[in-house]
Amino acid sequence: MKASSFPLLNIHTHHLSSSPSGIELFNVLWGKESPPRNSYYSLGIHPWYLPQSLDQAMKSLREECQNPFCLAIGEAGLDRLCASPWDAQQRAFRLQVQMAAELGHPLIIHSVRAGEELIKILQEEKFTGTAIMHGFNQKLSLGQRYLDAGLILSFGAALLRADSNATAMLKTLGPKQVFFLETDDSTVSIESVYHATCAHLGVSMETLTTTIFNHFTTLFSRYESN
């Protein structure tokens, strides 16, 4: 397959490559990890790791998000399977939605059995910025609900399985729809995710990388300003 003149974009990863072949957005868990030096990252309060003092954490998060290498807030969201109190999860997510709107940062979202609640909060906050549902591999009906609510889907290692919900959802979008690709915490390469996407959509690597990179530079203004 012909190589592309545009870099491969990994919109969400927990493992920085030692020699990246493109652009990686490393996910930093607030309070658990430190941002990488001279590498792009997202930073957010994950529902698994809620701080004791949310107000203090939000103040610190706001300051750290001023770093020019911080391109997005997240992953933030809701998770019905984790031990964090549900009310606290909702407040933490709502505050990060508000901060993303104020700062003009894209928002990278984590969701486990909480899709409708997430959509409700985004709508209540009248959020009109870029909101990315990372690691999508859920039912097509929920994927459509996300799209109808203005969210962008990001797909990962599940695309390597022909029978996954992610693959089915990707095929309903087509190559021109805005979506992103990622590796999350998996050990697969972003190259393999791109190659699988090309095969599912019947497009060249050049077409795919050009399209995704153009979407990225349009929606992530802080990258363009660096």
Taking the domains of the chain in order of start, what are their residue ranges? Answer: 8-225
Fold of 8-225: TIM Barrel (3.20.20)
Cβ 43 vs Cβ 64: under 8 Å: yes
pTM for the model: 0.95
Helix axes 115-124, 140-148, angle to 10 degrees: 0
User: How many residues can be counted in the chain?
Assistant: 226
DSSP letters for 39-91: S-EEEE--GGG--S-HHHHHHHHHHHTTSTTEEEEEEEEEETTSSS-HHHHHH
Cβ 121 vs Cβ 90: under 8 Å: yes
DSSP state of 101: H
For residues 27 and 14, what is the distance between their CA atoms, to the nearest angstrom?
A: 6
Instruction: Quote the pLDDT of residue 2.
Output: 46
For residues 105 and 108, what is the distance between their CA atoms, to the nearest angstrom?
A: 10
Position 149, amino acid: A
Instruction: Quote the pLDDT of residue 35.
Output: 92
Instruction: Quote the pLDDT of residue 176.
Output: 86
Instruction: Quote the pLDDT of residue 223.
Output: 87
How do residues 70-83 score in pLDDT, each as one tens digit? 999 999 999 999 99
Instruction: Quote the pLDDT of residue 225.
Output: 58
Which H/E stretch holds residue 168? Answer: helix 165-173
Which H/E stretch holds residue 153? Answer: strand 152-155
**Residue ranges of the chain with pLDDT lower than 50?**
1-2
For residues 104 and 51, what is the distance between their CA atoms, to the nearest angstrom?
A: 24
